[in-house]
Amino acid sequence: MRKGKASKSMVAMLLIALVVGLLSGCSGGNKGNESNGQSNENASKSAGGGKEVKLRVATSFAGSDPWVSAWTEAIKSFETAHPGVKIVDESTPVNQEALRTKIKADAATGNLADVMFYFNGSETKMLSESGKIVSWEEELQKDPEWAKTFNAAILDKVKYEGTLYALPYIGFYEGLFWNKTLFDKYQLAAPTTYEAFMKAVEVFAQNDIVPFATSLSTPYIQEALVLSSVGPEGQKQAYDVSWAPSINLIKDLYEKNAFPKDVLTLDDDKAQALFSGEKAAMMFNGSWTAVGLAQNPGIQITPFPLVPGGKGDNMIVSGFGSGWYMKKNDDQAQYDAALAFIKYMTSPEIAGKFAAIGGTYAVQTADSGNTAELLKAGNAMVAQAKDFVMPIDSYVSRESYTDFLEGIAYVVTGKKTAEEILAQAKKLSERN
């Protein structure tokens, strides 16, 4: 009997010890998290809510995009900090239109990703009309410390019909990249005036060097010439007949062998490869290309020069053409995880890692201390510019802009006039 009583007593004591141990273990876990600096955890705890969350994220950080390494590292560090969340990376390259195609298909089928880094401007219409996208005003009001990290003026500029659907992040600029080594070899002045630019075209063409690497199916040379010619106010008058002289300048450059021989079929990646491989002397493109180009100390950047009679002196195409969108999730754990991810991506530390690669930012960034000279020059160009405009395709319909770009080939080959393709694009734009 005594033995039986002792056994029951022993079992009871063991059970009590086990419960106490479990409780102290839970307490110790919380202290451990605080000692690791993770008590900022309203996001950490809610991101997952005690269950594993799979978070679908769609961005353009894929393929040859310069921010792929920073993006991959950010995903890994986020998952480490939030073990209950698994990121399903659905990023696709932007150059081949893959991202635009994907998001449109997802919207049409009601299968939007939880988080998207996607175009704003006219592209926001489709997402806002889905009724499935968060507007950021309320979340920013809830977290004033986070809100302070954003440039308020930029937030105002990227609203769509008065509402902030896309949180701005990486800004961009477009500029004329030129190879100083090649210019010096042929004793040419920097292409800061149109006269110097055209002289360079003539000399390089005579010496079997592609003067200007571009693809006529991409927007860059068209945007540069339109802005230089008609200025910011004229650029906003979509497909106005005043753009015709700009288009005719492209025809003039084509006839003077300024472009690669296969410019009508060449894609942007191959045009960039010609320039980075020093087989072309100049290229007008965006800040996203600067990270690779920065490895060559001979590469310089300047605004596109003012064309004769132009109104766009020292004006540049620049802005925040993409932003973070978040899906409205009824599942609170899913919603919280998506919000935690976006807050993590827009934190100064993570944004600073992206900033070291290139671009300008709408949020505070931690200084990495290793910004390349070409990137510094690009930021200086932005700081010194007299005015900025967003790209043409940010405020016109996609259908009209595609038609406009395709029409350039007809103009340079003499099959249509500039006025004809502008009239057609304007008609499509007004219809949509």
pLDDT of residue 39 exceeding 80: no
Burial category of 255 from C-beta neighbours within 10 Å (exposed 0-12, middle 13-18, buried 19 and up): exposed
pLDDT of residue 24 exceeding 70: no
**Joined tokens for residue 340:** 């935690």
Min mean pLDDT across 127-141, 166-180, 260-274, 371-385 is at 371-385
**Mean per-residue pLDDT, 231-243:** 96
Please state the pTM of the whole predicted model: 0.67
pLDDT value of residue 95? 73
**pLDDT confidence tier of residue 48, bands split at 50, 70 and 90:** low
**pLDDT confidence tier of residue 75, bands split at 50, 70 and 90:** very high
Going from N- to C-terminal start, the domains of the chain cover: 50-169+320-361, 173-317+378-431
Q: Do domains 50-169+320-361 and 173-317+378-431 have the same CATH topology?
A: yes
**pLDDT confidence tier of residue 96, bands split at 50, 70 and 90:** low
**Mean per-residue pLDDT, 6-13:** 34
pLDDT value of residue 379? 80
pLDDT of residue 120 exceeding 60: yes
pLDDT of residue 409 exceeding 60: yes
**pLDDT confidence tier of residue 6, bands split at 50, 70 and 90:** very low
Look at domain 50-169+320-361 and name its CATH class: alpha beta
pLDDT value of residue 156? 87
**pLDDT confidence tier of residue 49, bands split at 50, 70 and 90:** low
Residue with tokens 């001979």: 298
**pLDDT confidence tier of residue 50, bands split at 50, 70 and 90:** low
Residue 408 or 30, more confident: 408
**pLDDT confidence tier of residue 351, bands split at 50, 70 and 90:** very high
- pLDDT tens for each residue of 159-173: 999 999 999 999 989
Min mean pLDDT across 164-173, 312-321, 382-391 is at 382-391
Architecture of domain 173-317+378-431: 3-Layer(aba) Sandwich (3.40)
